Amino acid sequence: MTATLDDHPIHSWLTDMDGVLVHEEAALPGAAEFISALQQYGRRFLVLTNNSIFTPRDLRARLSRSGIDIPEESIWTSALATARFLAEQQPGAAAYVIGEAGLTSAMHEEGFILADSDVDFVVLGETRTYSFEAITRAIRLITGGAKFIATNPDVSGPSAEGPLPATGAVAAMITAATGTQPYYVGKPNPLMMRTALNRIGAHSETSIMIGDRMDTDVKSGLEAGMRSVLVLTGSTRAEEITQYPYRPTAVLDGIADVVPLVERCTATESVELGRTERSADSPRSGRRDGAPAPHERIEVMLRWLTAGESHGPSLISLLDGIPAGIELTSDDLKAALARRRLGHGRGSRQKFEQDVLTIHGGLRHGRTLGSPLAIEVANSEWPKWEKVMSADPVPREDLVIDAGTGDEREIARNRALSRPRPGHADLSGMLKYGFDEARPILERASARETAARVVAGRVAAALLEQAAGIRLVSHTLQVGAVRVPEDAELPTPEDVAALDADPLRCFHRETSAAMVDEVDAAKSDGDTLGGVVEVLAYGAPVGLGSHIQWDRRLDGQLAQAIMSIQAMKGVEIGDGFATAGRRGSAAHDEILAVDGSAGGTSGTFPRVSNRAGGLEGGITNGQVIRVRGALKPISTVPRALRTVDVSTGEQTTANHQRSDTCAVAPAAVIAEAVVALTLADALLEKTGGDSVAEIRAHLEGTQALQSALTDRRPDPAP
């Protein structure tokens, strides 16, 4: 079948999501390229779905995990269409809503009052846990005069265990009890198409709808006055097309075949749509030439950056993607910074480098707003460094002093650091960036930067605890050659105060005393020490992270986060390297039936041990997450090591900067912060949600589904 649209240029594109762009969690061939082409050529487009459970942010995350990058504003759901329609009909009305975050958020954003009595509308959408009480209330409200609205007529939805009842099925139940038919807003109602076109300012005559179902996508597109394309990667099969009294403008094998049409349309403003046959030498790789698409790292949900130098005016921490509703104060952040300064073996800098904290956005009256959170940690020593570290040029006379003989010499803080320190970024950075001294490198490479990470991590920790009940604990396992016994008890969240009071944040009292002696001996010898720290995450739900792609494995993300901390040289999850020396029969955590003795979180089976550290296949398994990091001895050694003066080429000793003898205790706090940030991103990727309340609701729904599997009991013996 061929249809020519030479006289009808296509400026705007609407496409269904499931069956066109993705199948379950996998992108269909050509989907990413199709979206990329629309973005590259500046075409207006929307991705449509009848699903009302999820917010656009949730769906964006799902598509991103599949390798398809679509902004939230380019996603249009039946929930959004329903809320927009009702807002035009009766703005500011009261509604009783049965649904999840996608629907409740849409209604709220359109200004509706959500109530359970004296309402104008009963609005029914999908939910993974339909409540008998909610359905009963809806029946009574409709009987009392409330108008009945439903997001879509789909009677069932897919799941791993089989079909689930959806909006249409529950609406039929309510109709049977009330005699009132709902008004369905979603497909196949062309109203869904019209609200979408209005959203992007498009006209039906220059728009096209792409879908995989004749009875919804094609029908609603045609009735809205648009051209339509049916792709054969979803519900409708080719032999079923003739059963319908209407036809799509074109039938294509898949969305990959639409990509060249976007390009041709852009070049000529006319498109000839025709059935595209696959050639034997053109595999369905998602690209027309059969080549694999280049890999792009999955975009994170929680983006955080730091800026600033060690002796600059301040450090800046910026977090984007933080949901609304986290309870947080500036005192919470100051307390986190104070924990970072603790520890036996710290240098004199900790006494005079006080942290002055200012929050510049994203927080109001003790709650996050959902907007970017900007936190500044000022440097109390800045007046001493203002000229040396000035962003603008400084007159030479301000950087020199009279040496007493009529000669000028550089002030101490501005002297060129031409003797790079072994173990630091000095020499590598100088060579990489073309500097002839180390100051421009060491200022940013300094561990002082971690102050910005610690405040960001405190925000993430608050999100984890308040939205998901995840609580973090960090402690010291080893300092120098002194190590906590392998069978020592692990600290819990209730032990954090005791850990913070310990000079080295060690939970084992006898070992802590030996660690203090070890630090004192190293200081007396003019040397430094490293060690091992561990972060524990209690209450992490099953299912954070994924095995699907290398960069979605949570253990890999945690390892990268730990290794990004200055001076870290090793990382392990769970028993890590010790497991490598065991036989398989003694290396893994056996799974017990639900009446077993060992525990985990709800929604999983108990285990007899936790050697895996709460992660298997890159996915959390419900056990306590255990991540360890190995910190090398501090590189700035009082008895300076040998180096080369790059200004002369002569052998000499390294520059000496004020430093610590042992920084293992603060390293534990820093590791706790980066683990919190990594887990918070994984939680948001899993649940989506624009607020703490939405995240909780999504997590509860997921855990209810998981419990359907793990709560099964074996049949009793006959």
Say how many domains are in the chain: 3
> Does the pLDDT value for residue 475 go beyond 60?
yes
Distance of CA 224 to the CA centre of its chain: 37
pLDDT at 270: 38
In terms of Cα–Cα distance, which of 516, 517, 446, 504 is closest to 474?
A: 504
In angstroms, what is the C-alpha Rg of the chain?
31
Q: What is the pLDDT of residues 505-518, one digit of tens each?
A: 999 999 999 999 99
Question: What mean pLDDT do residues 697-706 have?
Answer: 78
Question: What mean pLDDT do residues 314-335 have?
Answer: 96
Looking at per-residue pLDDT, the higher value among 59 and 286 belongs to 59
Last residue of a domain, one of 224, 255, 274: 274
pLDDT at 547: 92
409 pLDDT tier (thresholds 50, 70, 90): low
Give yes or no for a contact between 21 and 68, defined as CB atoms under 8 angstroms apart.
yes
Task: Kindly state whether residue 64 falls inside one of the protein's structural domains.
Answer: no
Give yes or no for a contact between 164 and 156, defined as CB atoms under 8 angstroms apart.
yes
**Distance separating alpha carbons of residues 704 and 127, to the nearest angstrom:** 12
Looking at per-residue pLDDT, the higher value among 3 and 229 belongs to 229
- Whether residue 175 is found in the same domain as residue 228: no
* Domain around 581: 303-386+447-642+661-703
Distance of CA 92 to the CA centre of its chain: 34
Task: Kindly state whether residue 219 falls inside one of the protein's structural domains.
Answer: yes
Residue 230 pairs in a beta bridge with 211, 251
- Whether residue 269 is found in the same domain as residue 333: no
Mean pLDDT score of the chain, rounded to an integer? 87
Question: What mean pLDDT do residues 413-440 have?
Answer: 92
Give yes or no for a contact between 373 and 322, defined as CB atoms under 8 angstroms apart.
yes
- Whether residue 212 is found in the same domain as residue 169: no
Task: Kindly state whether residue 413 falls inside one of the protein's structural domains.
Answer: no
The three-state secondary structure class of 456 is helix
Instruction: Enumerate residues 6+ apart whose C-beta is below 8 A from 712.
Output: 594
Question: Which one-letter amino acid corresponds to residue 521?
Answer: A
Task: Kindly state whether residue 422 falls inside one of the protein's structural domains.
Answer: no
CB neighbourhood size of 216 (10 A): 23
712 pLDDT tier (thresholds 50, 70, 90): low
The three-state secondary structure class of 478 is strand
Q: Which residues line the annotated binding site for NADP(+)?
A: 340, 346
699 pLDDT tier (thresholds 50, 70, 90): confident
93 pLDDT tier (thresholds 50, 70, 90): very high
Q: What is the pLDDT of residues 634-669, one digit of tens each?
A: 988 877 789 999 999 999 998 766 678 999 999 999
Q: Which residues line the annotated binding site?
A: 340, 346, 444-446, 566-567, 617, 632-636, 658
Looking at per-residue pLDDT, the higher value among 451 and 704 belongs to 451
- Whether residue 369 is found in the same domain as residue 255: no
- Whether residue 566 is found in the same domain as residue 696: yes
pLDDT at 289: 36
Q: What does the block give as tokens for 662?
A: 């042992």
Q: Look-up: residue for tokens 């997001």? A: 151
> Does the pLDDT value for residue 716 go beyond 70?
no
- Whether residue 591 is found in the same domain as residue 481: yes
Task: Kindly state whether residue 242 falls inside one of the protein's structural domains.
Answer: yes
Q: What is the CATH number of the domain that holds 357?
A: 3.60.150.10
pLDDT at 156: 78
pLDDT at 92: 87
pLDDT at 582: 93
Q: What is the pLDDT of residues 256-294, one digit of tens each?
A: 999 888 876 654 443 344 333 333 333 333 333 333 333
Q: What is the CATH number of the domain that holds 219?
A: 3.40.50.1000
Looking at per-residue pLDDT, the higher value among 298 and 529 belongs to 529
Q: Look-up: residue for tokens 């045609």? A: 222
Q: What is the pLDDT of residues 501-560, one digit of tens each?
A: 999 999 999 999 999 999 999 999 989 999 999 999 999 999 999 998 898 999 999 999
- Whether residue 253 is found in the same domain as residue 313: no
Task: Kindly state whether residue 156 falls inside one of the protein's structural domains.
Answer: yes
pLDDT at 599: 46
Question: What mean pLDDT do residues 178-195 have?
Answer: 93
- Whether residue 99 is found in the same domain as residue 211: no
Q: What is the pLDDT of residues 118-161, one digit of tens each?
A: 999 999 999 888 889 999 999 999 999 999 999 999 887 766 56
701 pLDDT tier (thresholds 50, 70, 90): confident
In terms of Cα–Cα distance, which of 405, 414, 436, 441 is closest to 425?
A: 441
Task: Kindly state whether residue 234 falls inside one of the protein's structural domains.
Answer: yes
Task: Kindly state whether residue 483 falls inside one of the protein's structural domains.
Answer: yes
Pinpoint the alpha helices (H) of 353-480: 382-385, 426-433, 439-445, 450-468
Last residue of a domain, one of 183, 201, 226: 183
pLDDT at 271: 39
- Whether residue 538 is found in the same domain as residue 675: yes
Question: What mean pLDDT do residues 227-233 have?
Answer: 93
Give yes or no for a contact between 670 and 535, defined as CB atoms under 8 angstroms apart.
no
Q: What is the pLDDT of residues 485-507, one digit of tens each?
A: 999 999 999 999 999 999 999 99
296 pLDDT tier (thresholds 50, 70, 90): very low
pLDDT at 434: 95
Instruction: Enumerate residues 6+ apart whose C-beta is below 8 A from 644.
Output: 419, 420, 650, 651, 652
- Whether residue 155 is found in the same domain as residue 231: no
Looking at per-residue pLDDT, the higher value among 619 and 356 belongs to 619
Q: Sign (positive/negative) of CA torsion 610, 612, 614, 616?
A: negative
pLDDT at 297: 42
pLDDT at 451: 96
> Does the pLDDT value for residue 404 go beyond 90?
no
- Whether residue 341 is found in the same domain as residue 216: no
- Whether residue 42 is found in the same domain as residue 99: no
CA distance from start to end of the chain: 63
**DSSP per-residue letters across 32-82:** HHHHHHHHHTT-EEEEEES--SS-HHHHHHHHHHTT----GGGEEEHHHHH
347 pLDDT tier (thresholds 50, 70, 90): low
Q: Which residues line the annotated binding site for FMN?
A: 444-446, 566-567, 617, 632-636, 658
pLDDT at 73: 93
pLDDT at 229: 94
Q: What is the pLDDT of residues 30-58, one digit of tens each?
A: 999 999 989 888 889 999 999 999 999 99
Give yes or no for a contact between 341 and 350, defined as CB atoms under 8 angstroms apart.
yes
pLDDT at 405: 53
Looking at per-residue pLDDT, the higher value among 294 and 75 belongs to 75
pLDDT at 658: 63
Last residue of a domain, one of 139, 166, 183: 183
